[in-house]
Every structure is written in structure tokens, then in C-alpha cells.
Amino acid sequence: MHDLVIIGGGPAGLSAGIYATRYGLDIIVLEKNEISGQIALTDIVENYPGFTSIKGMELMERFKKHAQDAGVTFQSSEVLNVKNKGTIKIISTDSGELEAKSVIIATGANPRHLGIPGEEEFIGRGVSYCATCDGPFFTNLNVIVVGGGDSAITDALILSKIAKKVTIVHRRDSLRAVKIMQDRAFSANNIEFIWDTVVEEIIGNDGVEKVVLKNVKSGNVKEMPIEGVFIYVGIHPNTGFVEIDKNQSGFIITNDRMETSAAGIYAAGDCRKTLLRQVVTAASDGAVASLAAYEYVAGVRPEQ
């Protein structure tokens, strides 16, 4: 019986682990990949305090080393189910069951799909959700980026250094991304914009050859020849394995102690309903969740 099982080895889970070892809890961090978290797939991080600019992978390697040095134990497992049996939580994984007095869910979120014809068919053959991972396949080719948020603009800028031309297709006429990134995209000489437009279909044979675009204001539909489609239309939380209160999109609802609707189960980072999803906020959530879990396990502040 562990005091605390932390599910997820991204910024929230690793931060929770570092704090939990300092409270003297017997903990284990379950992770799917050796270096976890969407941030490991991010090219450059420029807003984690203390690092003016650092590769996402390097930042996560530093988090991991810090956790290992602090004495965190890791297990490579995929969690299939978490059952709340009152004071005992049963965590079923693809490599067996664990029991814990408390659980922190820090499973993050994955890219949402558009759900249009051709999207699933061409994943890995022209459709991608990660410029850092797949950008080099599109050297000197033409690509579109779908979306207007931070992910879309960040990755459009990465692609602009690799591809011949990047066209950002956005459903409105203004971007959601933070202004400093917008300014960089507007001043890049090989980034163009198609406003008020959605992608209706992705067409090709061996790989992507064209997309069908629809202007949402005029209703006009046209085809655009293209070799790559990078999609950034938001994120989908990895929370299907647990039955606790979530919002309509599946993000776990917590209070400011990261407590969920189940006593002894906490959520931290991108998988919870929150205003801001950044490395710094995920790390902060993990620290708070760890203290709350410690107080619960130690009986210092029993749940009501």
C-alpha cells in the first residue's frame, strides 16, 4: 500500500513527486513514456522562469533528474482504471494493480482532432499534430496550420524555418495566441493567413495532396493543393480512466487544493479545469496537490 500514487510524469506529476518525497510519503510515479508530457514535444520554451530559452525536452529531462535525485520511484505503466474504495484507491494498470491511500492524477491532455474526412487516414502521411516531431518531413514543402491558439502559432513559426511556405487557416479573423507570438508570425516572410475559414476535408493518395476549405462568412468552398496539414484545435484531457466530476470537455473539476469530487484523489496540470495550461502552472498544481495529499494521508486535515 503506497501513501500516494502519482499518475503521469509530466511537469505536474514530477513536481508532485519532488514535493511528496520531502513530506516523507511513500510514493510511486506511473508514466507511459520515459520522458513524458506535451512539453517534451515542444521546441523551445521561453516562459518558464529561470530559463530565458530552453528546449522542451531538455527542461523535462531536468525535471526528471531532479525527481530521481529527490528519491522518486518510477514505474512504466499505462493506467487503465482508478477505483475509489473509500480509504483505499485501486489503480489498475497494464502491468498489474496498485493500492494507495491517495492518488494525484497528472495525465495531461493530447491534441484534439478535427474529425473531418481524410484526417485519420492521413495521420503520418501528411497530417500531423506536432511540428517538432514531424516538421523535417516537410522541408521545402508547402504546409497549412489549422488553428489560431498558442500551439498553432508556436508550431507555425517552427515550420516556417523548415517548410517553403506556411499558411495558417483560422476559423475567425483574429488569433487567440499571445501577442508576442502573433507579432512574430505576422512578420515572418513565409507565413500567410487564410481567415474565417475551416478545413472540411483532406484529400490525397499515398500522402496528402489537397484540402477543401470553406469560408464560414461567404460559404465559398475551394480546393487548395498542399503537402502537409498541421492541426492545433485545442486539447483533449486524458481522464477517461477515472469516474470523478469533470466538465463537459472531460477536464477534472478541482478546488484550489486540487481536491476532486473523491476524497483522497487530486488532479494537477493540464488534465484539470483551469485558466492557464503552462509548465509553471502544472508544476504549481503538482506542489499544491502533494501538500493536500500529505495532509490527507497524515490525517492533519481529514477530508469533510
Cell numbers linked to 195: 481567415
State how far the Cα of 58 lies from the Cα of 35, in Å rounded to an integer.
Answer: 10
Q: Is residue 271 annotated as part of the catalytic site, yes or no? A: no
Examine residue 272 and tell whether it contacts ligand NAP (CB under 6 A). Answer: no
Piece in contact with ligand NAP (CB under 6 A), picked from 68-76, 125-133, 145-153, 205-213? 145-153
State how far the Cα of 204 lies from the Cα of 188, in Å rounded to an integer.
Answer: 29
Examine residue 116 and tell whether it contacts ligand NAP (CB under 6 A). Answer: no
Segments of the chain assigned E as strands = 2-7, 27-31, 44-45, 54-55, 74-76, 79-85, 88-93, 96-105, 109-111, 127-128, 142-146, 165-169, 191-194, 197-204, 208-215, 221-225, 228-231, 235-237, 265-267
Q: Catalytic one among 130, 155, 270, 285?
A: 130
DSSP letter assigned to residue 36? -
Return the residue of 149, 201, 203, 224 that touches ligand NAP, per CB under 6 A: 149
State how far the Cα of 251 lies from the Cα of 37, in Å rounded to an integer.
Answer: 16
- Return the number of the residue (138 or 251) whose C-beta is nearest ligand NAP: 251
Query: Which amino acid, residue 208?
Result: V
Show the binding pattern over residues 203-242: x = contacts ligand NAP (CB under 6 A), - = does not.
-----------------------------xxxx-------
Q: Is residue 94 annotated as part of the catalytic site, yes or no? A: no
- Return the number of the residue (272 or 277) whose C-beta is nearest ligand NAP: 277
Cell numbers linked to 239: 481522464
How far apart are CB 156 and ligand NAP at their closest, in Å?
11
Show the binding pattern over residues 47-86: x = contacts ligand NAP (CB under 6 A), - = does not.
x---------------------------------------
Return the residue of 37, 108, 135, 148 that touches ligand NAP, per CB under 6 A: 148
Provide the pairing of β-strand 96-105 with 2-7.
Answer: parallel
**Contact between 178 and 277 (Cβ < 8 Å):** no
Examine residue 172 and tell whether it contacts ligand NAP (CB under 6 A). Answer: yes
Count CB atoms within 10 A of the CB of residue 256: 8
Enumerate residues 273-292 that contact ligand NAP by CB under 6 A.
277-278
* Positions marked active-site: 130, 133-134
Interface residues with ligand NAP (CB under 6 A) are 47, 114, 146-152, 154, 171-172, 176, 198, 232-235, 277-278
